[in-house]
Amino acid sequence: MKTIHIIIFGIGNVGSTLITQIIEADARLRSSGVVIKIPIIANSTSVFFNTDDLSTNWQTDFEQFSIPYKMDEILAYIRTQNYENPIVIDATASSQFIRHYVNFVESGCHIVSANKLANTMHYEFYKNLRTTLKKHKKHFHYETNVGAGLPIIGTIKHLYESGERIHRIRGVFSGSLSYVFNRFSSEDESFSKILANASRLGLTEPDAREDLSGNDVARKLLILARELGLKTEFQSIKIESLVPKQLNGKTTVHQFNSRIKELDKLFLKRKLELSENQVLRYVGELDVEANVLEVKLISEASQSVLGQLKGADSIFEIFTESYGEKPLVVQGAGAGRDVTARGVLSDIVKLSSQLN
Which residues are part of the catalytic machinery?
220
**283 three-state secondary structure:** strand
Half-sphere exposure of 26 (CA within 13 A, CB side): 11
CA dihedral sign, ordered 306, 310, 293, 341: negative
DSSP state, residue 108:
T
Could you give the dihedral angle defined by the CA atoms of residues 331, 337, 338 and 340, in that order, rounded to the nearest 10 degrees?
Answer: 50
Query: CA angle, 138 as apex, 132 and 141 as ends, to 5°?
Result: 100
* Phi/psi-derived region of residue 332, left when phi > 0, alpha when psi is between -120 and 50, beta in every other case: left
Q: How far apart are CA 107 and CA 110, in angstroms?
A: 9
> At a CB cut-off of 8 Å and minimum separation 6, what does 272 contact?
none
Return phi, psi of residue 125, to 5°.
-65, -45
> At a CB cut-off of 8 Å and minimum separation 6, what does 28 contact?
none
DSSP state, residue 275:
P
Q: How far apart are CA 20 and CA 337, in angstroms?
A: 12
How large is the angle between the packed helices 152-161 and 215-227, nearest 10 degrees?
A: 30
Q: Count of CB atoms within 10 A of residue 27's CB?
A: 7
User: Of 86, 139, 133, 141, whose CA–CA distance to 115 is shortest?
Assistant: 141
